[in-house]
Amino acid sequence: MKLCSVEIIDFKSIINEKIDIKGNKICFVGKNESGKSSIIQAISYLNFLEKEIPNNVINKHSKSYPKGLPIIIGLFEVSSKKYLQIIDLIKDNVNPHTSIVIPHKSEKSFIQVKRWGNGLSNISVTMTDMQTYTIDFGKEIENVAKFFNDFFETIYPSIEYFEKEEIIIEPASIEELLEDESKHESFRRLLYIGGCTDLDVLKNDSDDFISTYLSQIEDKFNETFRKHYKQDESIQIKIQTIRNNKLSLIIKDKSKLSFSITERSPGFNYYFSFLVNKLYTKTKNSNRNVILLLDEPGSNLHPNGTKDLLKTFKEISERSQILYTTHNPFLVIRNNLENLLFVEKKELGTKINIKPFLNKYQILRKELGILLNDSFIIGDLNLLVEGNTEKLALHRLFCQDKYKELEWLNIYNADGVTNMPQALNYLGKKNLNLSGIVLLDSDTEGDNVKLNKSFGENIKEKNWELIEINDIYPDKKQRTFEDLFPQDLYIKAYNQYCQSIEKLDYFIKPFTPFELKKEINTPIINEINIHFKSFLEEKTKKSITKQDVISLVLDEIEKLGETDQKKALKDINGIIDRILEHFKNLIKNVNH
């Protein structure tokens, strides 16, 4: 089951907000007190059998204040496989007098959980395919308590809310680990991740067996830890026996000294606790989806640590969902901005900005403090691009396995082709004296940039390379970045984009999709602009948010099979191959 939307009513500063959740990673950004933490906390109450809603979270503007409780509504998409499991569960518990008819299979159904208080009497759970059937579990199930318990334990996602990461690993005897005392829970989780799923195994009387078994646990945990934590690969986790036959956790590094977890830095403590708690949750709930809700994760981490954390997020999100808040520009989602949501405090409470694409995502960039074009916080080796379309698309494409070396290459956005000479002058010999690669469109504006004297002088330097879109084509047609993608996919994405903004009263007349009847002369964006402007007021300054269209293009490509995907990415990967080639040559000079 995958969470696809949440509606929050009368919760703290939130009056009524609905959030569409696309993908497995959602990041909320916003000022302090904007309400982003409230969103995460409210979603945690969809954990309806384990977490009670306190009586002090009702919105003060609500008619139910002060004694009422908020309403939380979650909509979950049900896969065909999970649907069959639910049907089996219903058959075992259905009211014999029910007249409801449920299809034997369903490719896509939804479960809505609506909660307005505590206890089963204040929860409504319904399942529907939005067309042929709707079943209210509370009405149609004979033994509701048993059904919900089984449903919650085997099918419903495990929803884990973490406001603050803490880890306590005190020395403990095997007898203490077998007990339920909470202070030893982290130690038990670490052992579980290392392969000890049954602590009773540790009761074995053979010292040789215990020694060998703990060594195997160490090896497995260290392998997992090193896979995620790259800042110091010399670190080893050891489990030693100390006085009174107690097991103790020891951390060793290249200093050859031993440390307890409490003697390490706050950043290391956070990362270690995150791995133990989240990987335990992932391992323990391998047959269920997991929804992790994180409030300000990694606040003590070094930027390199946040990169490691993002990689961990990526691995976990392959099968689970992660929703988190942050102020850290290194922790934001870079390769899919529709999953980066801006939360702001208005006069009537918390609102989620549904138009972050306006003004080139300026509101998000400003909020995160990443308007760095006038800053020295720039990489030694840069890829200079014309705008956000290239920056955001390349960040996403660099995640392909064969381009891993480029994943953290600094992509510098010139904010427009006319600014390319100034940007290169700033990065180049006369100012910061950095190295890099310039990616330029093969169109009239790109040709004009090459005629600029300053640009010409800088690009001739041995530490700068120029790549043009036409470098991978045999002819000299005008082309822009958009022409690196198949025209049918670009048109499909463009129509999807226009249909999405039409709902925001963007146009003055109903939108009619663009029909691709024959190949369009490049640059494709020229033809698209004419079509787009036909739905706008004559003197409007509105324009296509090209990075949103490219994002949708990449979404469509990801849905393709391996062969078709390779074909769709052929041209853009041709450009990235050239970027990688120049990168490898330039990085040698940077390192020296």
d(Cα 486, Cα 397) in Å, to the nearest integer? Answer: 16
403-to-231, 429, 577 alpha-carbon distances in Å: 21, 28, 8
One-letter amino acid of 393: A
Write out 190-233 in H/E/C secondary structure: HHHHCCCCCHHHHHCCCHHHHHHHHHHHHHHHHHHHHHHCCCCC
pLDDT for 371 = 43
d(Cα 288, Cα 121) in Å, to the nearest integer? Answer: 25
Structure confidence at residue 248 as a pLDDT band (50, 70, 90): confident
Structure confidence at residue 540 as a pLDDT band (50, 70, 90): confident
- Provide φ and ψ at 518, rounded to 5°: -155, 170
Q: At what angle do helices 266-284 and 303-316 cross, to 10 degrees?
A: 0
Is the Cα torsion angle 382, 385, 390, 392 positive or negative in sign? positive
d(Cα 490, Cα 528) in Å, to the nearest integer? Answer: 10
Assess contact for 251 and 218: CB atoms under 8 A. no
pLDDT in tens, 26-60: 888 888 888 899 999 999 999 988 889 998 999 98
d(Cα 502, Cα 510) in Å, to the nearest integer? Answer: 8
d(Cα 592, Cα 574) in Å, to the nearest integer? Answer: 28
pLDDT in tens, 335-344: 666 788 888 8
DSSP H or E segment with residue 309:
helix 303-316
Q: Please tell me whether the peptide bond between 421 and the residue prior to it is cis, using omega within 30 degrees of 0.
A: no
State mean pLDDT over 241-245: 74
Assess contact for 178 and 272: CB atoms under 8 A. no
Nearest CA to 144 out of 120, 126, 128, 122 is that of: 120
pLDDT for 402 = 92
Strand arrangement of the beta sheet that strand 321-325 belongs to: 158-162, 290-295, 321-325, 25-29, 340-346, 349-353
Per the rule left: phi > 0, alpha: psi between -120 and 50, beta: everything else, 274 is alpha
Nearest CA to 433 out of 391, 467, 461, 466 is that of: 461
pLDDT in tens, 126-175: 999 888 888 888 887 888 888 888 888 888 998 988 876 666 778 888 88
Average pLDDT value over all residues in the chain: 85
Q: Which two tokens stand for residue 124?
A: 């409504």
pLDDT in tens, 427-477: 888 788 889 999 999 999 999 999 999 899 999 999 999 999 999 999 989
* CA 576 to mean position of chain CA atoms: 23
d(Cα 481, Cα 476) in Å, to the nearest integer? Answer: 15
Ordered alpha helix ranges (H), 429-472: 444-451, 453-459
Q: Which domains are present in the chain?
A: 2-157 (3.40.50.300), 174-279 (no CATH), 372-592 (no CATH)
d(Cα 286, Cα 284) in Å, to the nearest integer? Answer: 6
Assess contact for 273 and 166: CB atoms under 8 A. yes
